[in-house]
Structure 1
Amino acid sequence: MKTIHVTAGVIIHEDKVLITRRAPNENFAGSWEFPGGKIEPNETPEDCLVREIKEELNIDVSIEKFCTEVTHDYGHMIVHLMTYYCTIIKGDIQISVHDQYKWVKINDLVKYDLLPADIPIVKKIMEEYLDKKQ
């Protein structure tokens, strides 16, 4: 089975995190995820993430630090997902491949129908977020 290497951005602003919903014509339509995409040949995960977020959301981000990585078997493919905390440095969000985006309170992320590979990321964000608040 093929492993697909992807990146995702955890973009936090004022105690909220950005999530995007997959459009009706996409695999896993209607599911929420952290924005990102497939790593191209000879591309670093960081370069991929900056490129994908620009393509999908029309914003420029800076990568702050590594968050976590997840490998998930979807049955027909394995996804290896590397996630990074990011900050928007320029632009206003304009979606092109998703049908919605939302800024969600970190504690409310669990209320959304997130893709299975994104759930461990939520747990990591919540752990780190709660550690900062104490």
Structure 2
Amino acid sequence: MLQVTCAIIEHANKILICQRSASMKLQLKWEFPGGKIETGESKEDCLLREIKEEIDIDITIRKALTMAEHHYADFSLQLYPFVCSLGAGEVKALEHAQAIWVDADQLRDYDWAEADLPIVNEYIAYATSIK
């Protein structure tokens, strides 16, 4: 089972979401950016590394959300989400088709990778509770 992290990056009352490229599995689905945990790597170190590699920004990790486990037809994963804030840098979609900032109340308007759906719902509940 794949162990994967993802970042819900907040900045200026917006959330960063990324669209998978046509050459990736789950083509053109939306996701929170992140990636696979390497052997011996902490979830937090993985997330910081993957965000730098995929979208070339630095982030601050603020809060872990609930791990989501999902089974696709050809692979299974455990997805570890973290609420983060933008540190330094300008977002560059180095691996994704696009990376955009959206309002939290727009998150459900996108065609998400199925593994990300429980995270979208938990984040919306979390964001609503702190307002």
TM-aligned CA deviation for residue 15 of structure 1? 2.3
Question: What is the DSSP-based 3-state SS (H/G/I as helix, E as strand, rest coil) of the residue aligned with 1:91?
Answer: coil
Identify unmatched segments of 5+ residues in structure 2. Answer: none
5 Å-filtered alignment, 1:1-134, equals 3-133=1-131
Separation in 2, partners of 1:89, 1:109: 22
Between the aligned partners of 2:6 and 2:19, the Cα distance in structure 1 is 13
Could you tell me the TM-score, scaled by structure 1's length?
0.94
State TM-score, norm by structure 2: 0.96
RMSD: 0.8
Question: Bigger shift: 68-77 or 50-59?
Answer: 68-77
Displacement of 1:62 in angstroms is: 1.4
Unaligned runs of 5+ in 1: none
- Displacement of 1:129 in angstroms is 1.2
| Structure 1 residue 48: Cα displacement | 0.2
Give the number of the structure whose residues are more often strand, by fraction. 1
| 1:76 partner SS | coil
Partner SS, residue 65 of structure 2: strand
AA at the equivalent of 2:110:
Y
SS of 1:90 mapped into structure 2: coil
Question: Which 4+ stretches in 1 moved above 2 angstroms?
Answer: none
CA contact (8 A) 2:9 2:85 kept: yes
C-alpha displacement of 1:95:
1.4
